[in-house]
Structure 1
Amino acid sequence: MPTILAENAYPSDWLKYEADNYYSRDTIIVASGAGKVLSGTPIAKVAASGKYVPAAATGSDGSQIAVGVLFEDVDATSADAKGIGIMRHAAVSHAGLVYGPTITDATKRAALNGQLAAVGVLVREGA
């Protein structure tokens, strides 16, 4: 029986435009306990710690406000992990984004996409 190999998403699957000279990118710290966060996951900044987690539909600690998209996979299961966030002046494809488990319907996705647009990360439907 043949072996089936699976690959995670590449940034080129969802990132369609970013500004020159890495202007769109910031180095970030993904908070311990966030688990394995995949490339293309919308991220939010927790106000108390200044660290990032996958954006959630609800909350009161900052995790409910998307501020960027994770560039590459990060494993923050048991310790904080350094990552790269696409934080401004970019266009991304909705088809490649990896929404967290609480972003469960079109209304929640639209709200998150609006939050990304507010920081200059435009989510395109057909890209």
Structure 2
Amino acid sequence: MLYRSASILERIQARTVDTLFIIYVMYLTALLFPNSEDLPVWSRKWIFLGLFVFYDPACNSLGTTVGNYFIGIRVRKHSNPEKRINIIRSFFRYLFKILFYWISFITIFFTKKNRAIHDFIGGSTVIKIE
């Protein structure tokens, strides 16, 4: 497999696609259940919260998010970029991605292989498939 480190622009593009995808899924959920009687409010909140909490870690541990797929980038193990990260590493990575959001992305400019803080914590690297 031929690959290189993903650029910050590619990572931002993928995140934008993922955000639009999540908004689209939320919109579809609202269309499918337009009346509050059809779906309890707590259920709708859990669906939306689940999208934000589980989408990124679950998709990255299983292979790729929608945005990463379309941009051609993948989150992989730093020690072996041909292997995916597991779900536990993916959750830790995502937690610190949320906690340090912009600070984490700024570190990409100053590290080898364009790694962010959350990549170091998750033992991951983001690669561009060529």
TM-score by length of 1: 0.26
Of structures 1 and 2, the larger Rg is shown by 2
Bigger proportion of residues as helix: 2
Question: Hey, which of these two has a bigger chunk of strand by percent?
Answer: 1
Structure showing greater relative contact order (alpha-carbon pairs closer than 8 Å, 6 or more residues apart):
2
